[in-house]
């Protein structure tokens, strides 16, 4: 029985690395994993999932307007899809999460989503909120704060390395823009 999985964490926990390892495992067994990433996340290149440790793979892109069920259905007509792996799943819409659930429920394709749970203000992303509500399996991928405690929050930094408390929910960036903190240091706005 196929399931919808949500692997979540704060920044820099290795979500993309785990996704790429899962894709490799499918490939090694002669199976086809369809990789997907949000169109506007081009840090690794357009339509490319890249990890901080140097692993990378090409991926199909999705926008908020796309029907991901139909997309996978079309790909599956040409090449059987054994699994769908979605990076940056926080950028999925609520409707797209339900479409992914439909892939598991109706087509029997396992769907593994990887993404942030909350934004820099501690608010759930719409895609993450829906995944937390409907996924069959939830798994936290852990990383640590500068103090050594488990990091569960993400802080956004300005160009001078100071914590930003206001702004758009989505700003694409890496280590220069975001830092993972434990709840205590996130609440206090303390960077080492």
The tokens of 95 are what? 């409707």
Let me know if 88 is a catalytic residue.
yes
Distance, CA of 128 to CA of 22 (rounded, Å) = 20
The tokens of 71 are what? 């997309």
Contacts of 52 (CB under 8 A, 6+ apart): 12, 14, 16, 17, 174
Cβ(141)–Cβ(13) under 8 Å? yes
Catalytic choice (73, 77, 88, 94): 88
Catalytic residues, which ones? 88
């Amino acid at each position: 029985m196929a399931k919808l999985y949500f692997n979540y964490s704060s920044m820099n926990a290795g979500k993309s690395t785990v996704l790429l390892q899962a894709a490799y495992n499918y490939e090694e067994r002669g199976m086809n994993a369809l990789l997907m990433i949000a169109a506007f996340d081009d840090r690794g290149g357009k339509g490319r999932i890249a990890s901080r440790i140097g692993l990378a793979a090409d991926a199909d892109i999705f926008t908020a307007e796309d029907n991901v069920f139909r997309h996978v259905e079309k790909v599956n007509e040409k090449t059987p899809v054994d699994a769908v792996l979605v990076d940056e799943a926080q950028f999925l819409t609520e409707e797209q999460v339900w479409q992914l659930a439909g892939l598991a429920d109706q087509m029997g394709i396992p769907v593994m989503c990887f993404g942030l749970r909350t934004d820099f203000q501690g608010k759930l992303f719409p895609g993450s909120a829906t995944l937390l509500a409907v996924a069959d399996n939830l798994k936290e991928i852990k990383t640590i704060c500068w103090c050594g405690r488990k990091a569960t929050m993400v802080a956004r930094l300005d160009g001078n390395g100071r914590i930003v408390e206001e702004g758009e929910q989505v700003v694409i960036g890496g280590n220069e823009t975001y830092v993972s903190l434990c709840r205590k240091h996130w609440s206090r706005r303390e960077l080492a």
